[in-house]
Chain A
Amino acid sequence: MMDMSNPAVASAAAPRAVAAGPTKIGIDNLEFFYGKNRALHGVTFDIPSGAITAIIGPSGCGKSTLLRTINRIFELYPEQRATGAIMLDGRNVLDRNYNLSDLRSRVGMVFQKPTPFALSIFDNIAFPLKHYERLTRAEAHERVETSLRQAALWDEVKDKLNVSALSLSGGQQQRLCIARTLAVQPEIVLLDEPTSALDPISTAKIEELLLEQCENFTFVIVTHNLQQAARLAHRTAFMLNGELVEVGDRERMFVNPRDSRTRDYVTGRFG
């Protein structure tokens, strides 16, 4: 692993101010259980709006678990449950009464492995879109184009919108999934290692698109790539063994971590 305190690396990205908009998501004393197994221990921290928050930490520390509680996707599995509070604009999304469809329309998610549906490229985006809005054919087309452009995929697929999405390359599929997520205009987008299965060029494209779009969305990205976190994130949270160890801006996390465990991790002294 690279030494992130190396000034050369640190200065690779342009300097930036501490980007902390008002709190979008307030996570409070979150516990998560896989059956009897506890995977999160009292996680508490805030995610600012209109910024990129990165979650880092060694494998198995609970990063994915944390993301999966925010949009309650874990509820697909009856044996999994979460306690504590995740406040989204002042309401606890873990509340039973919180409308799931509403929650998920506000909190989109992109997974590690591309998950295109067995539909055409166009329908991959238009189908979820039509669930929310009544659109004419032309409007739908326009929205599809917009989101494909946002995801930097338009030029590559504009001539084959009716081709099966499964025929795209892995990197293209992932950008399609991002486009699909952006198309329904969520406020928050959760990304779980979105580039870990991709080549450097596709990765660069996706990073670019996150930076371009971060003014329109609140991004929460899990990544194993510390440079990526350093390049992208306004705020970074470090997790270890289901606990949140430290959270702060890039300067604090990569140059001057307060917790020795964070320092060990970002300097690569960790396993």
Chain B
Amino acid sequence: MNPIVRNRQIVNGIVLVTATAATLFSLFWLVWILWTTVSQGAAAFAPSLFTKMTPPPGETGGLLNAFFGSAVMILLAVVIGTPIGVMAGTYLAEFSRGSRVAGVIRFINDILLSAPSIVIGLFVYELVVRQVGHFSGYAGGLALAIILLPVVVRTSDEALRLVPNQVREAALALGLPRWKVTTKVVYRAGSTAIITGILLAVARISGETAPLLFTALNNQYWTANLATPMANVPVVIFQYAMSPYDSWHALAWAGALVVTAFVLTLSIVVRLFFRQRTPR
């Protein structure tokens, strides 16, 4: 073989092998981290996880109050963030054709999407906690809502822009007003993609810790009162993992397993069923 061609082939081979190695390298970490989480979490897993409250050091307990708190705050975030996000996405996709403002809003929204979540926590601290004078579940839910919002804006904007104009024309041609066309027809046509976006946003906020550290804080006890500090899984994991107690470490791993399983299952299922990419 011509030596030049051969050299090119060799260089090509080296690069492609390196590229393959890079992929294996990243998969290696994925497997290692997941394996650790599963094995450690499974070892500490017990039904009492879902029936008992977070214990003092050395005693047995579970994470019931933390699961509950997380669920409530995630729900609150969805309730606050989804309508605003879908509305904003509607404006971008439906009512701002070709306008400059839409470009600016998309740009800013994308930045918000990647903004450090700890800064969001600080913001809500300044806005709510400091004004009210104490940490609360409301503040935690609000912080999560701010993280969820740009994801929903982005996905609903894209979902609605994928709805063909013919659908809008057909509905408008029936004499329906624009708002009805949008809410009854266009939303329907884009509903799968919008729901995908919301589910992915939920997956994203489920593991968020930083924004809850100084908004919801934590609570050793059960509370359904959103006006008080509220236990939540990520912050409990953080505090327990950083503690010197083995029993707390075990609970932290069990919590980590549950959160990871929830988030990954949601991500995979959504991807498989709705075949859409994650925005982040």
Chains A, B in direct contact (C-beta < 8 Å)? yes
What residues of chain A have their CB less than 8 Å away from a CB belonging to chain B? 71, 73, 76-79, 100-105, 108-109, 111, 113, 115, 117-119, 127-128, 131-132, 177, 180-181, 184
Contact A184–B97 (Cβ < 8 Å): no
Closest Cβ–Cβ distance, residue A18 to chain B (whole Å) = 30
Per the bound structure, the CA–CA distance linking A79 and B99 in Å amounts to 12
Contact B175–A184 (Cβ < 8 Å): yes
Contact status of A117 and B171, CB under 8 A, knowing A77-B97, A127-B184, A131-B180: yes
- Apart from the given pairs A73-B169, A73-B173, 14 other A-B contacts in the complex at a CB distance below 8 Å: A76-B165, A78-B97, A79-B98, A100-B175, A105-B174, A108-B173, A111-B169, A115-B169, A117-B167, A117-B170, A117-B185, A117-B189, A118-B188, A177-B170
17 inter-chain pairs at a CB distance below 8 angstroms, sorted by A residue, are A71-B173, A73-B172, A73-B173, A76-B168, A76-B172, A77-B97, A79-B98, A101-B175, A104-B173, A109-B169, A111-B166, A111-B169, A113-B166, A128-B174, A177-B170, A181-B173, A184-B174
Closest-by-CB residue of B relative to A71 is B173
Among A105, A115, A132, which residue has the most Cβ atoms of chain B within 10 A? A115
Which chain A positions have C-beta within 8 A of B166?
A: 111, 113, 115
B109 at the interface (CB under 8 A from A): no
B224 at the interface (CB under 8 A from A): no
B176 at the interface (CB under 8 A from A): yes
Which chain A positions have C-beta within 8 A of B177?
A: 101
B260 at the interface (CB under 8 A from A): no
Closest Cβ–Cβ distance, residue A64 to chain B (whole Å) = 11
B191 at the interface (CB under 8 A from A): yes
Per the bound structure, the CA–CA distance linking A80 and B168 in Å amounts to 16
Per the bound structure, the CA–CA distance linking A181 and B189 in Å amounts to 19
Which chain A positions have C-beta within 8 A of B176?
A: 101, 104, 128, 131
Contact B175–A115 (Cβ < 8 Å): no
Interface string of B155-187 (1 = CB under 8 A from A): 000000000011111111111110010001100
Which chain B positions have C-beta within 8 A of A79?
A: 98
What residues of chain B have their CB less than 8 Å away from a CB belonging to chain A? 97-98, 165-177, 180, 184-185, 188-189, 191
Per the bound structure, the CA–CA distance linking A90 and B83 in Å amounts to 44
Closest Cβ–Cβ distance, residue A7 to chain B (whole Å) = 39
Closest-by-CB residue of B relative to A107 is B173
Per the bound structure, the CA–CA distance linking A119 and B186 in Å amounts to 11
Which chain B positions have C-beta within 8 A of A181?
A: 173-174
Which of A77, A111, A131 meets B170, CB within 8 Å? A111
Contact B175–A117 (Cβ < 8 Å): no
Which chain B positions have C-beta within 8 A of A71?
A: 173
Contact B173–A105 (Cβ < 8 Å): no
Closest Cβ–Cβ distance, residue A24 to chain B (whole Å) = 18
Among B172, B188, B189, B191, which residue has the most Cβ atoms of chain A within 10 A? B172
Which chain B positions have C-beta within 8 A of A102?
A: 175
Which chain A positions have C-beta within 8 A of B184?
A: 117, 119, 127
Contact A109–B97 (Cβ < 8 Å): no
Which chain A positions have C-beta within 8 A of B168?
A: 76
Which chain B positions have C-beta within 8 A of A73?
A: 169, 172-173
Per the bound structure, the CA–CA distance linking A115 and B163 in Å amounts to 11
Contact status of A104 and B191, CB under 8 A, knowing A77-B97, A78-B97, A115-B166: no
Which of A109, A118, A131 meets B191, CB within 8 Å? A118
Which chain B positions have C-beta within 8 A of A132?
A: 175
Contact status of A109 and B173, CB under 8 A, knowing A115-B167, A118-B189, A118-B191: yes
Per the bound structure, the CA–CA distance linking A71 and B189 in Å amounts to 24
Closest Cβ–Cβ distance, residue A48 to chain B (whole Å) = 22
Closest-by-CB residue of A relative to B166 is A115
Which of A77, A104, A111 meets B175, CB within 8 Å? A104
Closest Cβ–Cβ distance, residue B174 to chain A (whole Å) = 4
Closest Cβ–Cβ distance, residue B172 to chain A (whole Å) = 6
Which chain B positions have C-beta within 8 A of A104?
A: 172-176
Per the bound structure, the CA–CA distance linking A180 and B172 in Å amounts to 13
Which chain A positions have C-beta within 8 A of B188?
A: 117-119
Closest-by-CB residue of A relative to B190 is A118
Closest-by-CB residue of A relative to B165 is A76
Per the bound structure, the CA–CA distance linking A101 and B167 in Å amounts to 17
Which chain B positions have C-beta within 8 A of A127?
A: 184
Per the bound structure, the CA–CA distance linking A196 and B145 in Å amounts to 49
Contact A105–B175 (Cβ < 8 Å): yes
Which chain B positions have C-beta within 8 A of A180?
A: 174
Per the bound structure, the CA–CA distance linking A73 and B181 in Å amounts to 13
Closest Cβ–Cβ distance, residue A126 to chain B (whole Å) = 11
Closest Cβ–Cβ distance, residue A183 to chain B (whole Å) = 9
Closest Cβ–Cβ distance, residue A234 to chain B (whole Å) = 23
Per the bound structure, the CA–CA distance linking A76 and B167 in Å amounts to 12
